Homo-oligomer: A and B are copies of this chain.
Amino acid sequence: MRTAYYEQLAGLGDHLAEMCGLAATSMERATQALLEADLTLAEQVIADHEHVTDLSRRVEEIALRLLALQQPVASDLRMVVGSIHIGADIDRMSALAVHVASISRLRHPDCALPGDVRASFAEMGSRAVALARTAREVLQSRDPDKAGRLRDEDDAVDAEHRHLFTLLIDHKWQDGVCSAVDVALLGRYYERFADHAVEIGRRVVFEATGGLPLTKQMA
């Protein structure tokens, strides 16, 4: 019984790490699709989301079964409840990659991004994907120090996001309203994706210590 219990607990962590890796890959592909107006890649990101959602349901099923049959306490209980939150965060990260891919698809064969913000999105995309990969490592190692550092990594995404808004609000924006709306929403999707990765770190710290670090003030 206890062996099955520890296997199920480990299974939860493995599923979450796998999901987080998939969300990172989706955002990486969505960013490439966005930068290169690649329709095939955009459609792949959209189709792949279902797999993450399936895994998210599976995580919740395992968590419910563990709670019902094994009645974990203390740090095990925090881990199981944390998994429920983290599964929802990763599902949302994958949905945000789908949102990015959907804008690429909508504007295809044009590129949704005007030339002067391409570098910003390449930067935000690469930092957001790196955050998701750090979160995946944290889900495997359960290292609270590394989990806490996700918050610092997110500062660079926030800075790039603010920079994007100065470009948009700047009266010299020459690329029209439709493009400004796309850029504003895309910026928001990357920022939220990164926030969810930070939230995963916050949960892992909670599981390790029993105390939730303060939520980062979100823009």
State the A residues within 8 Å of B (CB). Answer: 53, 57, 60, 63-64, 67-68, 71, 73-74, 77-78, 81, 84-85, 88, 95, 165, 168-169, 173, 177-178, 180-181, 184-185, 188, 212, 215, 218
Contact = CB atoms under 8 A, between A and B. Distances in A.
Contacts of A177: 168-169, 173, 177, 180
B77 A64 contact: yes
Identical subunits present: 2
Nearest to A95: B218
A163 to B, nearest CB: 14
A68 B73 contact: yes
Contacts of A184: 181, 184-185
A165 B106 CA distance: 13
Contacts of A67: 67, 77, 81
Contacts of A188: 185, 188
A126 B74 CA distance: 43
Leading 5 A-B pairs by shortest Cβ distance:
A181-B184, A177-B180, A71-B71, A173-B177, A169-B178
